[in-house]
Amino acid sequence: MGEAAKEPPRPGRRGGAGIALAVSVAGLAVVAVLTFLLWPLADLIAAHDVEHLTGPERGKELRVARDAARGRVIQVLAGVLALGGFVYTARTFNLARQQSELNRQTLELAMLQAREQTEATRRSLEQSENAQLTDRFMRAVDQLGNEAADIRLGGIHSLERIARDSPRDHPAVMEALAAFVRRTSQSRPGAATQVPQDLQAAMTALARRLADADQGRLRLHGARLDRLDLVGADLAGADLSGAVLAGADLTAADLGGATLTGADLRGARLDGARLGGARLDGVLLKAAGLRGADLIGAELGGADLGGANLQRARLTGVRAVRAGFARADLTEADLTRADLTEADLSGALLRDGGLAGAVLRRATLSGARAERLSAAGADLAGAVASDTCLTQADLSGCDLTDANLSGAELRQARLDGVDLTAVKLAGLDLTDAMAADGARVPSGWQRAPDGRLARRPS
């Protein structure tokens, strides 16, 4: 029983003993080889080297030859070991290089797989997002046609959010909102005083859109937008032809390059608005507020700005042929190089304004107040400026051919280079007007040495 109960030798112990035995045998073999090389072999080499010697010298030379032989053996062994080390090192380096190349290829493969996985994930997410956006867009558009105002408002806000989340869908969203504005606004009662909340919300969304994502102009032609709050709205380049904006608040709005042909802006507030390059042909701007507005280069042919407030407005280079400015306030307004052919400026306030180089052929300025007006070089041929106050105005170099200045007041005005002989002058007051050499003074008036005009003594 005792012998049967003994544990059999474990495989691990048996393997360890085998390795130890192999190491011992190898060690003994190395010792045996070294012993053979350094003693018997060295003795044989030494004996061979001194075999030709005899006598007492043989013993001495044998010892020297034996040491030399052992040195040569050691040198050979060292060379063999060095060669072995070099071979081992070269093999190790080659294996390391192969392993490095394998690692690089493995890394590149892993990176390629990661990129492919990332791209696949991105495409999947993009498809999912597009599907969600499409679903959101369709639901929001459906909400715009709902009878409940609250649901329509929710649809408008959803569309605006989609436009901000997805620049690609921005043009489609703006087109949907513009169509909603056109449809909804045109169904408003004619005498309505309340602005529908959904209409205001839709216009607010359009007005604060990301203009850089537009792929076309906003199409709001014929829309009824009267009395809407559009302060600071970005409507640059929009098509608002025939739109009704009467009483709307467009203070500081951007309408640069917009088309407002035939639009109704009566009583609208456009103080500080940007209308540079806008098409305003035939527009109704009666009693509108345009203080400090920018209308540089705008088209105002046939527009009606009667009674409008244009104080300090910039109208440089506007084309306002046959436009109406009757009783408009153009105090300090800049109309330099404006084309006001046949325009109606009767009763207008032009104090401290600028009309230098402007064209006012056959324009009407009757009853206008134009003190200190700067109109040097303006073309006033055939203009009617009867009863106009031009005190201290600068009319140097103006063309007044066939102009009607009956009853006009030009006291202390500058008339350098002006021909007043072909002007209707009944009741004209030129007292203290300045006319340098080159001006042609009408009969009944004379020029003093200092250039001042005075009536000739009877």
Residue 349 three-state SS = strand
Q: What is the pLDDT of residue 192?
A: 61
Long-range contacts of 416-423 (CB under 8 A, 24+ apart): 420/445
Q: Look at residues 140, 287, 256 and name the one whose alpha carbon lies nearest to residue 202.
A: 140
Start-end of H helices in 145-165:
149-165
Q: Which two tokens stand for residue 393?
A: 């105005």
Q: Which pLDDT score is estimated for 19?
A: 79
Q: Residue 366: in which H helix or E strand, if any?
A: none
Is the predicted pLDDT of residue 358 greater than 90, yes or no? yes
Cα–Cα distance for residue pair 105/234, rounded to 1 Å: 56
Tens digit of each residue's pLDDT (9 = 90 or more) over 71-94: 777 787 788 888 888 888 888 889
User: What is the mean predicted confidence (pLDDT) over 6-15?
Assistant: 58
pLDDT of residue 71: 75
Structural tokens at position 420: 């007043």
| Residue 157: band (very low, low, confident or very high) from pLDDT cuts 50, 70, 90 | very high
Say what the pLDDT of residue 10 is: 57
- Kindly compute the dihedral angle of the four CA atoms of residues 161, 167, 171, 175, in this order, to the nearest 10 degrees: 0
* Each residue's pLDDT tens digit, 89-140: 888 889 899 999 999 999 999 999 899 888 888 888 777 777 777 788 889 8
Query: What is the pairing mode between strands 445-447 and 453-455?
Result: antiparallel
Instruction: Measure CA of the first residue to CA of the last residue in the chain; give whole Å.
Output: 168
pLDDT value of residue 51:
67
Backbone angles phi, psi at 374, to 5 degrees: -100, 105
Say what the pLDDT of residue 266 is. 96
Highest mean pLDDT among 12-26, 143-157, 371-385: 371-385
1 has a pLDDT exceeding 50: no
Distant-in-sequence, close-in-space partners of 443: CB < 8 Å, separation ≥ 6:
421
Location of structure tokens 């409940």: 148
Highest mean pLDDT out of 62-76, 192-206, 212-226, 308-322: 308-322
What would the pLDDT profile of 187-200 be if each residue is shown by its tens digit? Answer: 887 656 788 999 99
As a whole number, mean pLDDT of residues 273-281 equals 97
CB 180 within 8 A of CB 157: no
DSSP state of 41: H
Does residue 387 register a pLDDT over 50?
A: yes
**Region 254-275 average pLDDT:** 96
Neighbours of 380 (CB within 10 A): 28
DSSP at 33: H
Q: Span 234-238, mean pLDDT?
A: 95
Q: What is the pTM of this model?
A: 0.72
- pLDDT bucket at 42, cuts 50 / 70 / 90: low
**How much helix, strand and coil, in percent to the nearest 5, is found in the chain?**
40, 10, 50
User: DSSP labels for 371-421?
Assistant: TT-B-TT-B-TT-B-TT-B-TT-B-TT-B-TT-B-TT-B-TT-B-TT-B-T
Q: Is 314 helix (H, G, I), strand (E, B) or coil?
A: strand
Q: What is the distance of C-alpha 158 from the center of its chain?
A: 25
Write a three-state SS string for 272-330.
CCECCCCECCCCECCCCECCCCECCCCECCCCECCCCECCCCECCCCECCCCECCCCEC
Q: Name beta bridge partners: 113.
A: none
What tokens does 142 get?
């459906």
Q: Are 295 and 313 in contact (CB under 8 A)?
A: yes
Query: Of residues 53 and 259, which shows the higher confidence score?
Result: 259
Give the mean pLDDT of 385-399: 94
Find the helix or strand (DSSP H, E) in which 200 lies.
helix 197-207
* φ and ψ at residue 437, rounded to 5 degrees: -55, 140
Q: Is the pLDDT of residue 397 over 70?
A: yes
Question: What residues does 398 pair with on adjacent strands?
Answer: none
